[in-house]
Structure 1
Amino acid sequence: MDKHKLNNFFDYSLEPRRAILFEDVKSNYASIECVQRNLNPLTTSLCVMSRADNTKGLTLASSPTFKKVFGMKNISRASDLPFIIETRKFNFPQWYRTHTDIYGQRTEPTLQHVAFIESWAKRTWLVPPQMQLYVDYKIKVTEILTNYTSIEEIHSYSIDESFLDITESLNFFYPDIRNRYEQMNLITLDLQREILDKLGLYVTVGMGDNPLLAKLAMDNYAKHNQNMRALIRYEDVPSKLWTLPKMTDFWGIGKRTEKRLNKLGISSIKELTNADPLLLKQKLGTIGLQHFFHANGIDESNVREKYIPKSSSFSNSQILPRDYHKQKEIELVIKEMAENLAIGLRKGGRMASNLSLYVGAAASSEHSSIKISRNIEATQNTKELQDLAILLFREKYQGGAVRQIGISGNQLSDNSVKQLSLFETVEENQFNEKQESLQKAIDEIREKFDFLSIQKASSLSEGSRVIYRNKLIGGHAASQNKEDKDVS
């Protein structure tokens, strides 16, 4: 039997065998902040914490040492820390929330534990996010990656992760070496060293015969290796994929999918490889069939082929910085969000035939949150969407404080297909055309210069969020300002 036939379903010798890397900047945000302060990203205890007015101290990223010392994960609250930020003293209430005996009774921390936490707390850096800085570093990392393959062979998976196809680079860099995997390892080492030397960042890299294997190599093996590299070939599928201790360690399988697979009698990746693919498709749809192929190490995706999802809706939401009691203020924010929705639709060349509005009641309110949607004539017009959003709000609003607002344009269609109205007069048609031309001109000016280059007077009103929101990147501060200083 062919040595690549590792099971009864697939002949791996027929599968594409590329040289794929999956690189991940270790603790990206936290590492960049360390580099900015001439600190070692691996040995420094540092946490990037958003103190934006709507987060109450949200942990966005933390260094490996911070995670190890305090047992913390990303995306947690300041109140979850084992120490109090302001005083750096041991957080007794948090300890008692998480440390109980088998009877649910609280356990007392030892003096040694308290001393350990407080000692590290005094040496810990708590810094605000600087999203523009992280974007700048992403560009610098990508520029280095292009030294090893063409930009067409690089697919950015996230702000700190990228796939690289270096198949055509193997013989260019190491023509005297015949073993492709040795070539891959040496190129990966060169890449790691260059990023560390030029940017001060440590990079973890998974290597594989296809994108799936490279990603799994990084997630499950490279992160735990001292050299921060790992390889999975087709020949390694039985020993490195089928032996993963948890199904959720596998790319694309979360707790919900794991439960659905468990109901089918599948409790391991090995069992998934021997499952009936037709049954998986019947019970889980196409994604079930994909899990079957992936469990067997099969992935024929091409790094060159960029996936561009077709949006079924455009939406945005925000948590307000305080409870909004005045209806005038609430409606101002709704109008601003409706305008952002209209801009997004026009930029995407889409029109919405349904508008949904969510207005979340504050904890202090005695009224319920509002959820309402309505089918409309397809539009991307700012005023039409604003008027309808306000109409929907007034239909349901009965008073009370508001803390969250969300708006969504659904049932999208191409803006090249426009429904003609038999009831629209010539004057109304001319007016609408002028409005569309005006909106297009405003969009172009904002695209060229800045969104805030053209503002409505209402943006200066109390309660307006448009200026604040447009200074954010990814919902967080673009750079460090005077009010957001390090707490170190």
Structure 2
Amino acid sequence: MSEDRSYICIDLKCFYASVECVERGLDPFTTNLVVADPGRTEKTICLAITPAMKDLGISNRCRVFEIPSHVKYIMAKPQMTHYMKISADIYSIYLRYVSPDDIHAYSIDECFIDATPYLSLYHMTAKEFAAMLMDVVLAETGICATAGVGTNLFLAKVALDITAKHVEDNIGYLDQAEFERTIQTHTPITDIRNIGPGIAKRLAKFGVYDLRGVCRMEEDALYREFGVNAEYLIDHAHGIEPCTIAEIHEYEPSAHSMMSGQVLSCDYSYDDALVVLKEMVDALVLDLVEKNLVAETISLYVGYAREREDRENRSDGEFFDGGHGKRPLHGRRSVPHTGGTRKQFGRTNLYSKIMPRFIDLFEETTRRDKPIRRINVGFGGVVPEEFATVDLFTDEQAEAEEKSLQEAVLAVKGKFGKNALLRGMSLAEKATARERNEQVGGHHA
């Protein structure tokens, strides 16, 4: 891979928390603030905390009850629509200097930029260009950023995640030589993008704890252990990433799917969870109709509440070292999830055909003796509506009437809001549709 390209990965530091601090005229580097919904229990996850709280050793994605009692802090209620607006404003700043063809929005607070064509234009090095963009964002929004610069997308991301934390200007830099010198022996290996605790544990079976160890492994052994995903692991262990931003923009998946999921706020019984399932399927079917799509398969995932176990009675004594000290793997045990995938009797987006299949799947697979805490529903084999299945037994008039009714529901919701028209089940005590219709990504809009 040529090293004549320069990529920048920019991350908006503690984005949600920083936005809340800016609105209050506070400095996120000296203010203790968490973004979390005060209306939920103390088990709710903090969406973000300020750098000041990180300096106290508090984890970014901690739960509220995990914050030490002696730490005084401000709790800010999430406002996702506002965060999206600020993110869009910052993206528009980048567009003053860079073509949209050379930007890939990785998340609401992070993006990649192919800086290669612009360095000669602005007479800057890649680090100077990154610093200029960060300074403009800070001046116009008050949001501080960090950046990674690399000769490919992977190196830019690793430079952001690891190297930028240890330099005064908050801009990390990695080329191939620097990667081999500093990152291949870096531990814990879970700091590397796309290497989580599961992969780290599997590598540990071979006595491998860093990327240099991966480089020394026999490739056949890696492919036996990880399958086709070994290719990514091998490339990244050597600092290689052939993919470019242009290729990301051009990518078209060979298969399409749609998915919706939610973590329930408390333990749900079988019957209450069935109500939520119906609400979720109803909403996802309307998404199909609105986008003029049909689906060939359905999928369901039901997760159950965890059970605490008596640690003294456990004999396995397993530990995992993620680089932050060993912790026991036992102590909390998940009841296995249930669900599955079913092929429909044809490609359709009709509620009358899809809902009974989901109810059957739920009734066939879901346990009645365990409290439910998570439900995911999805569609597979999603294709344009013109590929809907029609056979000799299809009542075309009835289907046209149902489709017209679905479109009318969408029109009312589009004009007056999603809660303007609801099914009666959404008035049940444990129903969630009304609340979720007022949220973005499961959080207050």
Q: What TM-score does the superposition give when structure 1 sets the normalisation length? A: 0.75
Is 1:237 the counterpart of 2:217? The answer is no
Q: 1:336 aligns with which of 254, 259, 279?
A: 279
For the residues of structure 2 that align with 1:422 and 1:413, how far apart are their CA atoms? 23
Q: Aligned pair in 2 of structure 1 residues 397, 222: CA closer, same or farther (>3 Å)?
A: closer
**1:155/1:163 contact within 8 Å kept:** yes
**Displacement of 1:471:** 0.8
**Displacement of 1:333:** 2.8
For the residues of structure 2 that align with 1:245 and 1:381, how far apart are their CA atoms? 52
**1:334/1:405 contact within 8 Å kept:** no
Q: How does 1:358-373 map to 2 (within 5 A)?
A: 358=302, 360=304, 371-373=338-340
For the residues of structure 1 that align with 2:339 and 2:187, how far apart are their CA atoms? 45
Q: How does 1:34-53 map to 2 (within 5 A)?
A: 34-53=21-40
In the alignment, what sits opposite 2:46? 59
Deviation per CA, 1:43-71, whole angstroms, max 9, x where unpaired?
111111223547743222101111222x2
Which stretch of the first structure deviates more once superposed, 375-384 or 226-235? 375-384
Q: Aligned pair in 2 of structure 1 residues 308, 265: CA closer, same or farther (>3 Å)?
A: farther
In the alignment, what sits opposite 1:376? 344
For the residues of structure 2 that align with 1:254 and 1:372, how far apart are their CA atoms? 25
**Displacement of 1:159:** 1.1
Is 1:438 the counterpart of 2:405? The answer is yes
For the residues of structure 1 that align with 2:337 and 2:403, how far apart are their CA atoms? 31
**1:359/1:406 contact within 8 Å kept:** yes
Is 1:421 the counterpart of 2:391? The answer is yes
**Displacement of 1:144:** 1.1
For the residues of structure 2 that align with 1:282 and 1:348, how far apart are their CA atoms? 42
In the alignment, what sits opposite 1:268? 210
For the residues of structure 2 that align with 1:393 and 1:259, how far apart are their CA atoms? 33
Q: 2:58 aligns with which of 67, 72, 84?
A: 72
For the residues of structure 1 that align with 2:337 and 2:195, how far apart are their CA atoms? 34
**1:22/1:205 contact within 8 Å kept:** yes
For the residues of structure 2 that align with 1:217 and 1:396, how far apart are their CA atoms? 45
Q: How does 1:81-480 map to 2 (within 5 A)?
A: 81-83=67-69, 117=70, 120-121=71-72, 124-174=73-123, 183-304=125-246, 305-306=248-249, 307=251, 313-321=257-265, 327=271, 331-346=274-289, 347=291, 349-356=293-300, 358=302, 360=304, 371-373=338-340, 374-378=342-346, 379-393=348-362, 403-404=372-373, 406-414=375-383, 415-424=385-394, 428-443=395-410, 446=413, 450-456=417-423, 458-478=425-445
For the residues of structure 2 that align with 1:310 and 1:74, how far apart are their CA atoms? 36
In the alignment, what sits opposite 1:17? 4
Which stretch of the first structure deviates more once superposed, 401-410 or 266-275? 401-410
Q: Aligned pair in 2 of structure 1 residues 163, 369: CA closer, same or farther (>3 Å)?
A: closer
Deviation per CA, 1:271-300, whole angstroms, max 9, x where unpaired?
322433344334322221222122222112
Q: CA RMSD in A?
A: 3.1
**Displacement of 1:207:** 0.5
**Displacement of 1:22:** 0.3
**Displacement of 1:411:** 4.4
Deviation per CA, 1:329-353, whole angstroms, max 9, x where unpaired?
6554332111122134443724033
Deviation per CA, 1:206-226, whole angstroms, max 9, x where unpaired?
011111111111111112222
State how many pairs are aligned.
Answer: 412
Q: Aligned pair in 2 of structure 1 residues 47, 420: CA closer, same or farther (>3 Å)?
A: same
For the residues of structure 1 that align with 2:160 and 2:337, how far apart are their CA atoms? 44
**2:304/2:371 contact within 8 Å kept:** yes
Q: Secondary structure at the match of 1:58?
A: coil
For the residues of structure 2 that align with 1:197 and 1:469, how far apart are their CA atoms? 35
Counterpart code for 1:149: V
Counterpart code for 1:40: D
Q: Aligned pair in 2 of structure 1 residues 290, 43: CA closer, same or farther (>3 Å)?
A: same
Q: Secondary structure at the match of 1:59?
A: coil
Deviation per CA, 1:241-288, whole angstroms, max 9, x where unpaired?
223132222222222212323334433212322433344334322221
**1:18/1:167 contact within 8 Å kept:** yes
Q: Aligned pair in 2 of structure 1 residues 350, 430: CA closer, same or farther (>3 Å)?
A: closer
**1:22/1:162 contact within 8 Å kept:** yes
**1:212/1:294 contact within 8 Å kept:** yes
**1:23/1:161 contact within 8 Å kept:** yes
For the residues of structure 2 that align with 1:274 and 1:326, how far apart are their CA atoms? 51
For the residues of structure 2 that align with 1:272 and 1:293, how far apart are their CA atoms? 10
Counterpart code for 2:350: N
**1:44/1:63 contact within 8 Å kept:** yes
For the residues of structure 2 that align with 1:173 and 1:148, how far apart are their CA atoms? 9
Q: What TM-score does the superposition give when structure 2 sets the normalisation length? A: 0.82
**Displacement of 1:154:** 0.8
Counterpart code for 1:418: A
Q: Aligned pair in 2 of structure 1 residues 236, 312: CA closer, same or farther (>3 Å)?
A: same
**Displacement of 1:403:** 4.8
Q: Aligned pair in 2 of structure 1 residues 361, 61: CA closer, same or farther (>3 Å)?
A: closer
**Displacement of 1:393:** 4.9
Counterpart code for 1:251: R
In the alignment, what sits opposite 2:14? 27
**Displacement of 1:461:** 5.0
Gaps of 5+ in 1: 1-13, 84-116, 175-181, 479-488
